[in-house]
Amino acid sequence: SRRYDHARVTEYWQHVWEREGVYETPSGAEAPEDRTYVLGMFPYTSGSLHMGHIRNYAITDAHARYRRMAGDRVLHPMGWDAFGLPAENAAYERDTDPESWTRSCIERMRDDLKEMGFGYDWSREITTCDPEYYQWNQWLFTRFLDNDLVEYDSATVNWCPDCETVLADAQVETDEYEAAHGHTAGGVCWRCGTAVTQRDLDQWFFTITDYADELYDGLDDLEGWPEGVRDSQRNWIGRQEGAGVTFDVDEYGEVSAFTTRLDTVYGATYLALAPGHDLVSELAETDDDVAAYLDEVAGTDDAGLSGVATDLTATHPFTGERIPVYVAAYVLDDVGTGAVMGVPAHNERDHDFAEAHDLPVSQVVEPVDGSGTNLPDDPYTEDGMLTSSGEYDGLASTAARERLLDHDGVEEATTYRLRDWLISRQRYWGTPIPIVHCPDCGAVPVPDEDLPVELPAYVQTTGNPLDAAEEWKATTCPDCGGEATRETDTMDTFVDSSWYFLRFLSPHFDDAPFDQQTADQWLPVDVYVGGEEHAVLHLLYIRFFTRALADLGLLDEREPVERLINQGTVLHSGEKMSKSAGNAVAPHEYGAETTRLFVLSAAHPAQDFEWTVKDVSTAYEFQQDIYGMVSDFVDQRTRRHRSQEARPVRTESEPHDAYLEREIDRTIAAVTEEYDRFRFHRVVGELQRFARLLRRYERYEPPYLFAYSRGLRVLTKLLAPIAPYLAEELWHLLEADGLVAEADWPESLRDVSDYRIERGLVRTTLADVRDITEVVDISDPERIELVVAEDWKYEAYRTAQSADPDAAIVGEIMADESMQAHG
Ligand code: ANZ
Ligand code: ZN
């Protein structure tokens, strides 16, 4: 039989699809009402496609194709996440500029995507480094500014000495303990791995913390999202319910300490303040020990259990006792209130600190079941029953936490781990922040009519190139017209990707970032697919933006994505397949379509799987096999026509076709369900099985039984979302109408349960007639396994001459020895 020449057909079908506008989003009155917005996280323009991209986009493409054939109006767009530090670094290394480098990456990646056969509506392509795109970042920034969603603040920031830029907390990789406590000092740069240091700079922030509660509570309703992602977001927002306990500190006044264990308050034996606490800087002016300690910890990332006693004491609000006040580095500036009531008996760190500084350990909670503790050697950290706690003795921890709230100096408090989103970057390749600094008027936003503020030409410098662009920097104040300078910070690229899904809806709209009416029609995104590394940053930011835009009156919808799929990792010898790991297999090696078929057939989209040459060749053989079967059928038909041998082609199903018809209908139902559930690997399994069944029908003479040729067409359609080139080629061979990419999804002729072939009569070799009680396996058109008369298992051979046309499996049961084949 003939071989499928993949290379020959890809360019041809790409051309036809493009010419026919197959993937353009239908609009206008005749467009179907059912809309499906399918989106893959757009790629960072880093060079060329890697396996992660291919897997991601194979999933969205298969779903988009399936929904299109099922009759939906499908939006499946593609664009480029084009700004960012890596392009600047690459440009630097290659002695070019970020723009040329990025544009060349885009050309390459677009070609790769097209070759893979992904069907995008390219008329909606967006590129975030185009002024036509980033002007809307600037527009949105000024709207956020008007609505108190922007702050300009001096802040201690994470600084990467190597990249010479500020990093958001989330761009600093920390160990688990630090991550859980929102402490980032001591981490390394997410890009280059250099140890992060601290600096004070004036920075721009988006006040995402205004939405902390809403973003947190909204997670409960995101049923279409993986639980893991929702958990990561909960953890990232880090909402903790507890209490603020006020201590009176000698001549300095009140200090509030945040605690989640108010039930342990009677066990507080000291008060510890973070080095950055307001009171501490005041204290350092007069207390030399404190000043020396601040110097000591300033440069270190890991000050451990170090601390210094002050001369101050604090009054315990319950006992009235005076307890010592310490400055301790384990208390973090930006968590809670930056002050901790130290309870050595019931907290690990407090216990360690007390041991190091010789502070008393005082037990106030004991196990309810009367079992002992290891105090004072080890802290008892569980809930229990209160003791040595005055009138609260005997209460359970939970109840005590409620009751103690009523006491003077205590109030309910909630803290969050989430910080405002620092969007300032001291780098060139990003959206200029549309602000002018005027000596008289301060920071003045650039008015709409002066947008976009375009990037000046690139010059290579060690620091921020925008800072060196003197001519660009010099401008006039929009308010007073006086001499002023431009803001030289650019925006975090996560700003670009926080609303790109909206731009796709009206990519050429030029009154606003997007057309509100269109957005309200299409949102939320029905299916969003991308890597789980985006569980917190990107996926939290798009939720924040959607809410903020809704509050600005620009949108109705408050949640951007209905269903989220995190595709698993493609492994190669146990390691993640990526370019940087040097073990990526170029997508072209086996033919682009084989690659996509393989990544879809290897595992459930969310599962990791191993790339093996063997499995890839299985996918390749599957394509060849199906192609061979269809071309054989077509060739035979042609031969018959030529030799005038052809009998009239039947146009109706004959009784013994019922068997195959049922299998076709069963396959349609099964495959459709697998597509609905994104189980493409099972689609492949079903189709392999179905193809084997069809193969057996080749033996029937002539091989163009009505049901058989329907089977081939159905197979082709069911294959189209996962192997679009092959399907298009088969469709063409079968001389079917139009393009399979635009064909209707196959429908069952009858409900599968309507087929009556399970029922019928069988004649045994003993010539008695019995009822079939159960059909065990009817996947083979000829041999049927069934149970007759209770528990006798038989294999039967189907015979064509049946008395009852509906009883397709009527036939002779061959007892073991007397088995014989029927033609
Ligand atoms: C007293 C106490 C007693 C606490 C006890 C815990 C157990 P976790 O531990 O993750 O639930 N905390 C508050 N502010 C802090 C800061 N700025 N830096 C470091 N630690 C801080 O977080 C809540 C606990 O972290 C709080 O409850 C507080 O210690 C500590 F048996 O207060 B606890
Ligand atoms: Zn001014």
Give ipTM to 2 decimals. Answer: 0.93
Ligand 1 centre distance from Cα of residue 798 (Å) = 76
Half-sphere exposure of 340 (CA within 13 A, CB side): 23
Least confident of 15-19, 94-98, 193-197: 193-197
Beta strand ranges found along 646-791 (DSSP E): 761-764, 769-777, 783-788
Q: Which residue among 415, 439, 462 closes a domain? A: 415
For residue 519, the cross-strand partners are none
Least confident of 61-75, 225-239, 271-285, 699-713: 699-713
Q: Is the CB of 518 under 6 A from ligand 1?
A: no
Asked if the structure places residue 703 within a domain, the reply is yes
Between 227 and 764, whose confidence is greater?
Answer: 227
Report, as an integer, the average pLDDT of 458-463. Answer: 78
- In angstroms, the first-to-last Cα distance of the chain is 24
Q: Is the CB of 336 under 6 A from ligand 1?
A: yes
d(CA 77, CA 24): 9
Nearest-CA residue for ligand 1 atom 8 is: 260
For ligand 1, mutation pick of 333, 347, 414 (most atoms within 8 Å of CB): 347
- The predicted pLDDT at position 251 comes to 86
For the chain, the domain total comes to: 4
Same domain, 631 and 681: yes
Same domain, 140 and 279: no
Report, as an integer, the average pLDDT of 501-511. Answer: 97
Q: Is the CB of 528 under 6 A from ligand 1?
A: no
Asked if the structure places residue 579 within a domain, the reply is no
For ligand 1, mutation pick of 184, 246, 258 (most atoms within 8 Å of CB): 258
For residue 327, the cross-strand partners are 273, 308
Structure tokens that stand for 180 in this block: 């859980």
The residues near 218 (Cβ < 8 Å, ≥ 6 apart) are 543, 558, 559
Report, as an integer, the average pLDDT of 105-132. Answer: 96
User: How would residue 818 be classed by pLDDT, with cut points 50, 70 and 90?
Assistant: very low
CATH number, domain at 323?
Answer: 3.90.740.10
Q: Is the CB of 260 under 6 A from ligand 1?
A: yes
Whether residue 293 contacts residue 303, with contact meaning beta carbons closer than 8 Å, is answered with no
Ligand 2 centre distance from Cα of residue 456 (Å) = 23
- The predicted pLDDT at position 797 comes to 43
Same domain, 263 and 399: yes
Q: In the block, which residue shows the tokens 């038909």?
A: 637
Same domain, 263 and 393: yes
Q: In the block, which residue shows the tokens 């006086």?
A: 482
Report, as an integer, the average pLDDT of 124-152. Answer: 98
- The predicted pLDDT at position 151 comes to 97
Q: Which residue among 370, 389, 415 closes a domain? A: 415
3-state secondary structure of 608: coil
Same domain, 456 and 391: no
Whose atoms come closest to the Cα of 476: which ligand? Answer: 2
Q: Is the CB of 258 under 6 A from ligand 1?
A: yes
Q: Is the CB of 784 under 6 A from ligand 1?
A: no
Phi first, then psi: give them for residue 666, nearest 5 degrees: -65, -40
Asked if the structure places residue 46 within a domain, the reply is no
User: How would residue 405 be classed by pLDDT, with cut points 50, 70 and 90?
Assistant: very high
d(CA 703, CA 696): 10
Same domain, 477 and 352: no
Nearest-CA residue for ligand 1 atom 1 is: 259
Atom of ligand 1 nearest to the CA of 336: 14
Nearest-CA residue for ligand 1 atom 14 is: 336
User: How would residue 333 be classed by pLDDT, with cut points 50, 70 and 90?
Assistant: confident
**Would you say the pTM of this structure is higher than 0.90?**
no
- The predicted pLDDT at position 170 comes to 65
Whether residue 583 is predicted with pLDDT greater than 60 in this model: the reply is no
- The predicted pLDDT at position 182 comes to 46
CATH number, domain at 646?
Answer: 1.10.730.10
Atom of ligand 1 nearest to the CA of 335: 17
Whose atoms come closest to the Cα of 351: which ligand? Answer: 1
Atom of ligand 1 nearest to the CA of 379: 31
Between 344 and 462, whose confidence is greater?
Answer: 344
DSSP for 426-460 reads --SSSPBP-EEEETTTEEEEPPGGG---PPPPP--
Same domain, 748 and 760: no
Asked if the structure places residue 258 within a domain, the reply is yes
Whether residue 781 is predicted with pLDDT greater than 80 in this model: the reply is no
Nearest-CA residue for ligand 1 atom 9 is: 260
Beta strand ranges found along 481-535 (DSSP E): 483-486, 490-491, 525-530
- The predicted pLDDT at position 400 comes to 98
For residue 475, the cross-strand partners are 484
- The predicted pLDDT at position 697 comes to 72
Q: Is the CB of 265 under 6 A from ligand 1?
A: no
b/e sequence 58-70, b meaning 16+ C-beta within 10 Å: bbbbbbbbbbbbb
User: Is the C-alpha dihedral spanning 641, 646, 650, 654 positive or negative?
Assistant: negative
Report, as an integer, the average pLDDT of 286-300. Answer: 90
Q: Is the CB of 346 under 6 A from ligand 1?
A: yes
Ligand 1 centre distance from Cα of residue 806 (Å) = 75
Ligand 1 centre distance from Cα of residue 783 (Å) = 71
Nearest-CA residue for ligand 1 atom 27 is: 259
Same domain, 225 and 361: no
Whose atoms come closest to the Cα of 263: which ligand? Answer: 1
Ligand 2 centre distance from Cα of residue 511 (Å) = 27
- The predicted pLDDT at position 393 comes to 97
Asked if the structure places residue 748 within a domain, the reply is yes
Ligand 1 centre distance from Cα of residue 260 (Å) = 6
Q: Is the CB of 274 under 6 A from ligand 1?
A: yes
Q: Look over the chain and give the mean of its residue pLDDT values, rounded to a whole number.
A: 86
d(CA 583, CA 77): 29
Whether residue 9 is predicted with pLDDT greater than 80 in this model: the reply is yes
User: How would residue 701 be classed by pLDDT, with cut points 50, 70 and 90?
Assistant: low
β-strands 322-328, 270-273 pairing: parallel
Asked if the structure places residue 602 within a domain, the reply is no
- DSSP at 47: S
Inter-residue long-range contacts of 592-595, CB under 8 Å, 24+ positions, other chains counted: 592/6, 592/10, 592/115, 592/116, 592/117, 593/6, 593/10, 593/116, 593/117, 593/623, 593/723, 593/724, 593/725, 593/726, 594/6, 594/619, 594/620, 594/623, 595/54, 595/116
Ligand 2 centre distance from Cα of residue 210 (Å) = 30
Whose atoms come closest to the Cα of 479: which ligand? Answer: 2
Q: Is the CB of 341 under 6 A from ligand 1?
A: yes
- The predicted pLDDT at position 117 comes to 95
Whose atoms come closest to the Cα of 441: which ligand? Answer: 2
CATH number, domain at 227?
Answer: 3.40.50.620
Same domain, 408 and 433: no
- The predicted pLDDT at position 46 comes to 84
Half-sphere exposure of 741 (CA within 13 A, CB side): 26
User: How would residue 460 be classed by pLDDT, with cut points 50, 70 and 90?
Assistant: confident
User: How would residue 584 be classed by pLDDT, with cut points 50, 70 and 90?
Assistant: low
Whose atoms come closest to the Cα of 438: which ligand? Answer: 2
For ligand 1, mutation pick of 259, 263, 323, 346 (most atoms within 8 Å of CB): 259
Same domain, 355 and 446: no
Ligand 2 centre distance from Cα of residue 681 (Å) = 63
Per residue in 372-398, pLDDT tens? 999 999 999 999 999 999 999 999 999
Whether residue 491 contacts residue 137, with contact meaning beta carbons closer than 8 Å, is answered with yes
Asked if the structure places residue 52 within a domain, the reply is no
For ligand 1, mutation pick of 176, 246, 261 (most atoms within 8 Å of CB): 261
Atom of ligand 1 nearest to the CA of 338: 17
- The predicted pLDDT at position 31 comes to 75
- Domain membership of residue 721 as a residue range: 613-752
Ligand 1 centre distance from Cα of residue 336 (Å) = 9
Q: Which residue among 415, 442, 465 closes a domain? A: 415
Atom of ligand 1 nearest to the CA of 381: 31
Q: Is the CB of 332 under 6 A from ligand 1?
A: yes
Asked if the structure places residue 127 within a domain, the reply is no
For ligand 1, mutation pick of 234, 236, 247, 260 (most atoms within 8 Å of CB): 260
Q: Is the CB of 347 under 6 A from ligand 1?
A: yes
Ligand 2 centre distance from Cα of residue 222 (Å) = 46
Q: In the block, which residue shows the tokens 């950055």?
A: 276
- The predicted pLDDT at position 585 comes to 53
Q: Is the CB of 491 under 6 A from ligand 1?
A: no
- The predicted pLDDT at position 694 comes to 86
Nearest-CA residue for ligand 1 atom 2 is: 261
Whose atoms come closest to the Cα of 345: which ligand? Answer: 1
User: How would residue 8 be classed by pLDDT, with cut points 50, 70 and 90?
Assistant: confident
Same domain, 230 and 296: no
Total Cβ atoms within 10 A of residue 754: 10
Report, as an integer, the average pLDDT of 745-751. Answer: 84
Structure tokens that stand for 690 in this block: 């179905």
Least confident of 165-179, 196-210, 730-744: 165-179
Report, as an integer, the average pLDDT of 418-423. Answer: 93
Nearest-CA residue for ligand 1 atom 12 is: 340
Q: Is the CB of 363 under 6 A from ligand 1?
A: no
Same domain, 248 and 363: yes
Per residue in 199-211, pLDDT tens? 888 989 999 999 9
Whether residue 172 is predicted with pLDDT greater than 90 in this model: the reply is no
Atom of ligand 1 nearest to the CA of 260: 27
